[in-house]
Amino acid sequence: MHGKTGLLSALCVHECERHRSYLLWRYLQVEPNATIGEIKSMFHKNQGKSLKDEDVLQHLPVGTTATFYFRDLGSQISWVTVFLTEYTGPLVIYLMFYFRVPFIYAPKYDFTTSKHWVVHLACMCHSFHYMKRLLETLFVHRFSHGTMPLRNIFKNCTYYWGFAAWMAYYINHPLYTPPIYGEQQIRLALILFLFCQIGNFSIHIALRNLRPPGSKTRKIPYPTKNPFTWIFLLVSCPNYTYELGSWLGFTLMTQCLPVAFFTLVGFIQMTVWAKGKHRSYLKEFRDYPPLRSPILPFIL
């Protein structure tokens, strides 16, 4: 129900933009000559604590009567659908450049292959990364919130698909030149890439095991017997740390400027997410380990 007398309600339920959370609003008293701007200001100043889906109504600090108001978020789409869409795109787009389908490069290069083995290795690594992401979406990740705004899928796909095309164009270009330090640089980069891919997967498994199926319980993640999870001693979001390492390895492997730029942009975005998650941990858990940093040990 969309009510216009929300300022007189005892309880208002508001669905946030990124996920379905609920906010408790206190009773407001306003003068008849108050402006809309003043009412809005009072409304936001009186925002209460967040409510969870599992909260019980009788345990909430309200009286015998409560009125609920819901905000229409518009069209929604499941997180699984979003992830599958945004990860399938880079996988397919990159392969189109790798196989040099017509209308990308000069006609004489149609359906030809690169003479540099690092180009084939890069294709395998890129494909592996996104196939891993797709499989994790289907079988590993557990989403606490089922949907997100439909408009976000266009923004996300533009980011992932656009960067995939930009990187693939230069890496698979007929005039592409291998890294300056040759095989030694490529092998070192491959080791870093694979190490971080395994680490990223290990963190996702550890996070999955923290939350039983169907539960939204939040717990502090700690290192397990898996050595790749020991980074939890120093970092709150090691999945992003390993993700950054993977793309640093791919950058070193290809020595390609668009890849380096994608790595930088991804690092900035992951840092924002990691800081938000870190603040959430500190706020929710009083005994949260004090030595942890959001994404880079002792640095950031």
Q: Is residue 290 domain-resident?
A: no
46 and 93: one domain?
Answer: no
Of residues 109 and 32, more confidently modeled: 109
Q: Three-state DSSP class for 240?
A: helix
Q: Specify the pLDDT at position 4.
A: 41
| Alpha helices by DSSP H, 64-181 | 79-98, 117-139, 151-171
Question: Residue 265, Cα to own-chain centre: how many angstroms?
Answer: 13
Of residues 254 and 146, more confidently modeled: 254
E-strand stretches of the chain: 22-25, 47-51, 76-78, 147-149
Q: How far, in Å, are 50, 144, 148, 205, 215 from residue 218 at the CA level?
A: 15, 10, 20, 15, 9
How much is the average pLDDT of 100-117? 95
Q: Is residue 68 domain-resident?
A: no
Q: Specify the pLDDT at position 72.
A: 57
How much is the average pLDDT of 266-270? 96
Q: Name the residue among 153, 129, 158 with its Cα closest to residue 243.
A: 129
Of residues 11 and 55, more confidently modeled: 55
* Cβ–Cβ < 8 Å for 150, 77: yes
151 and 252: one domain?
Answer: yes
45 and 141: one domain?
Answer: no
Name which of 59-63, 191-195, 208-212 the model is least confident about: 59-63
What mean pLDDT value characterizes the chain?
83
Interatomic CA distance for residues 147 and 166, integer angstroms: 30
Of residues 93 and 16, more confidently modeled: 93
* Cβ–Cβ < 8 Å for 155, 219: no
Tell me the longest C-alpha to C-alpha distance in the chain: 78
Q: Specify the pLDDT at position 272.
A: 96
How much is the average pLDDT of 179-208? 96
Contacting residues for 259 by C-beta, under 8 A, at least 6 apart: 167, 171, 247, 250, 251
Name which of 197-201, 248-252, 284-288 the model is least confident about: 284-288
Q: Name the residue among 68, 91, 253, 241 with its Cα closest to residue 161.
A: 91
Q: Specify the pLDDT at position 133.
A: 96
Q: Three-state DSSP class for 78?
A: strand
What is the rounded end-to-end Cα distance, in angstroms, of the chain?
A: 44
219 and 133: one domain?
Answer: yes
How much is the average pLDDT of 196-220? 87
Q: Specify the pLDDT at position 1.
A: 40
Q: Is residue 110 domain-resident?
A: yes
25 and 172: one domain?
Answer: no
Please name the residue that has the structure tokens 């690594």. Answer: 125
10 and 123: one domain?
Answer: no
Q: Specify the pLDDT at position 296.
A: 96
Q: Specify the pLDDT at position 77.
A: 81
Interatomic CA distance for residues 126 and 129, integer angstroms: 5
pLDDT tens by residue, 2-27 = 444 433 333 434 444 434 433 444 44
Angle, to 10 degrees, between the axis of helix 117-139 and the axis of helix 151-171?
160
Interatomic CA distance for residues 4 and 30, integer angstroms: 14
23 and 117: one domain?
Answer: no
Q: Is residue 1 domain-resident?
A: no
Q: Specify the pLDDT at position 79.
A: 79
Look up the domain containing 39 and give its range.
Answer: 6-59
Number of domains the chain contains: 2
Q: Specify the pLDDT at position 13.
A: 40
46 and 111: one domain?
Answer: no
144 and 259: one domain?
Answer: yes
92 and 12: one domain?
Answer: no
How much is the average pLDDT of 274-300? 94
- Percent of residues, the chain, with pLDDT higher than 90: 62
Q: Is residue 230 domain-resident?
A: yes
Q: What is the pTM of this model?
A: 0.78
85 and 182: one domain?
Answer: yes
Q: Specify the pLDDT at position 152.
A: 80
**247: pLDDT confidence band, cut at 50, 70 and 90?**
very high
* Cβ–Cβ < 8 Å for 178, 118: yes
193 and 46: one domain?
Answer: no
